Amino acid sequence: MSKMRNKAIEILKANWRDGYTVPSKNLYPYQWKWDSGFIAIGLAHFDQKMAEREVETLLNAQWINGFIPHIVFHKVSDTYFPGPNFHRADLHPLANKEYPSTGMTQPPVLGFTLERMHEIAKDKKESLQFIKNNIDRVYKNHQYFYNNRDPKDEGLVYIYHNWESGTDNSPLWDPIFETIDAPVYNFERRDTSIIDPSERPTKREYDYYLHIIDIAKEHNYNDAKIAEFSPFLVQDPLFNSMLIKSNSALISLYKMIGGNEDKIEQLEQWQEKSITSFNRKLYDKDLGAYIHYDLRNDKPIRMVSSSSFSPLYAGIPNKDQAEALVRTMMDKFGGEDMYLCASFDPSTDKFNPKKYWRGPVWINLNWMLYHGLLDYGFNDLAQRVKSDSIEILEKVGFYEYFDPRKSIYKGDVKGYGGSDFSWSAALFLDLTEN
Ligand code: GLC
C-alpha cells in the first residue's frame, strides 16, 4: 500500500503546474473545476499549502457574478480542443479578465473540499485562516447558482451543457441530442490522437457539444437567455447533490468561524427548499433511483446511472429511499462479476464498459458513493466500493476510468483514457489514509 501511496504522490507532484494541477499531462493540459476540488483533497494529505494554492488559483478565476468556470486556460496548449478561442468566455460582460476560461461550469465541489481539507490539515490554525480568507467566494458561487440557474425557483439548479455535468457522454443525454439539429463541424480533435477512439465520444457527439456552446455564445453567455434558448437544459441529481453537500459544508464551516448569521440562514433556506424539491421531482419510485429531469422538454429522463446514487453523499434520501437505492444498485450494478460502480446501468443495451461515461467505473463517483453509504450505515457495501476501487487501481494503475467487468482483468490489461490521472491518485490517498 505504501508503494501505491508513494506513486500517487509522485503523480500529483508531476502534474502540478505552480499553483494548480492538470488532470492528465497531455490529454487535459489546464485546470478543471471539479478535478481541482478532488485533487486538493489528495494534496492535503501530503502538502497543505499545495492544496490551498490549488483552491485559491481556481477561486482567482471566479467571475464578478460569482460564476466559476469549468476550465481555466492558464497557458496556451495545442493538445486540447476546444480551447479559449472557441469558447470565448470574454463575451460575457462579467467574465474574469485575467484568466481565460470556458463559459460553462462544473459541479460545485468547493464547499465539501474545504471541509475535508480542514479535517485532514495538520496545522488547523492555518487551515482555519485559509477558510476564513476564502469561504465567501465559495458562498458567492452558490449564490450565483441559486440566483441565475433556477428559473422556476424550485431550489434545483440547471446545467446547460453535458460538459457541465462532468459525465460528458453519458447515454442520459442521447434523447436530448435527438431533439437538436446540430450542424456538422469541421475541426480537429486532439483527444482521439492521444487515446483509442473507441474509449472516447464520437465525432457526431462533438458536433452537439460545440453547437450548444455556439448558441450560448450567440447570447454572450447570458444566463437568462440560456435558460430561454439553450436546447440542453437539465436538472442533474449529481450536480445538485454536490451543491447540497457543499451547502451543508459551508454551514458547518461558517459556524466554526463564528458570525455570518445571515449567510448561515440563507444557506439553510436554500438547503431546505432544495432537498424538498429534489425528493419531489428527481426521485423515481418505480426505478428506486434518482433521475435527471429534462427542463427544456419538460420530462424526466428515466435512466439509472452512477449519478442516481450520489444523493446518498448529500444526505438527501430518507431511510426507505436509501434502502431502495441500495437494492437498485445491487440488482443492476452489483453482480459478483462486476466491480462497483459502473457509470451507467449495465442491464441496458446503452451500457458500454469501455466508453468513458457510458459504463466504466470512475474513482470520484466511487469516492462519493463510499462516503454516502457509510453515512447511511451500509458499512459492508461501503467497504466493497472502497475495496473494489483499490483493487482496480492496484491491478492497472492510476488511469482515468476502468472496465467494470472483473473477467477482463487478466494478463496485460490497462485502464482507459489518460494515465497518471490526478483525481484517481488524489482520491486513492484519501480512501487509504490511515
Ligand atoms: C473529462 C471528464 C470530466 C473531467 C475532465 C478533466 O472531460 O468527463 O468529468 O472533469 O475530463 O479530467
pLDDT tens across 365-416, in order? 999 999 999 999 999 999 999 999 999 999 999 999 999 999 999 988 999 9
More confident residue, 209 or 195: 209
Catalytic annotation present for 90? no
Give the distance (Å) from ligand 1 centre to CA of residue 225.
26
Share of the chain above pLDDT 70, in %: 100
Determine the structural domain holding residue 198 and report its residue range.
29-330
Domain membership of residue 269 (yes or no) is yes
The single residue of 199, 236, 400, 403 carrying the catalytic annotation is 400
Q: How far is Cα 216 from Cα 218, in angstroms, rounded to an integer?
A: 5
For residue 422, how far is its CA from the centre of ligand 1 (angstroms)?
11
- Cα(122) to centroid(ligand 1), Å: 30
* Residue 340 falls inside a structural domain: no
- The answer to whether residue 188 is domain-embedded is yes
The answer as to whether 242 is a domain residue is: yes
Q: Is the pLDDT of residue 77 over 90?
A: no
Strands 234-235 and 158-159: antiparallel
- pTM of the shown model: 0.98
**182-202 pLDDT, tens digit each:** 999 998 888 988 889 998 999
Is 205:187 a contact under the CB 8 Å cutoff?
no
**Minimal CA–CA distance to 169: which of 421, 432, 416, 422?**
416
Question: Is 420 one of the catalytic residues?
Answer: no
Strands 283-284 and 158-159: unpaired
Count how many domains the chain has: 1
Average pLDDT over every residue of 120-134? 98
Residue 301, strand partner residues:
292
pLDDT over threshold 70, residue 29: yes
Summarize the confidence of residues 43-53 as an average pLDDT.
98
Say which residues have a Cβ less than 8 Å from residue 373's Cβ, sequence separation at least 6: 312, 326, 379, 381, 382, 385
Closest residue CA from atom 12 of ligand 1: 23
Q: How far is the CA of 144 from the centre of ligand 1 (A)?
A: 22
In a domain, 374, yes or no: no
Average pLDDT for 191-219: 94
How does the average pLDDT of the chain come out, rounded?
97
Per-residue model confidence (pLDDT) at position 100: 96
Q: What percentage of residues in the chain have a pLDDT greater than 90?
A: 95
What would you report as the CA-atom Rg of the chain, rounded to the nearest whole angstrom?
20
Please give the DSSP secondary-structure letter assigned to residue 81: S
Q: Is residue 2 part of a domain?
A: no
Pocket test for ligand 1, best of 12, 21, 28, 358 (most atoms within 8 A of CB): 28
Query: What mean pLDDT do residues 53-77 have?
Result: 97
Q: What is the average per-residue pLDDT within 11-26?
A: 96
| Assigned domain for 39 exists | yes
The whole-number pLDDT of residue 275 equals 98
Which of 25, 27, 35 should be mutated for ligand 1, with most atoms under 8 A from CB? Answer: 35
Would residue 365 count as lying in a domain?
no
Residue 305's beta-bridge partner residues?
A: 344
A 10 A CB-CB count for 423 gives: 26
The enclosing domain of 35 has a CATH number of 1.50.10.10
Q: How confident is the model at residue 434 (pLDDT cuts 50, 70, 90)?
A: low
Q: What is the grid cell recorded at 64?
A: 464578478
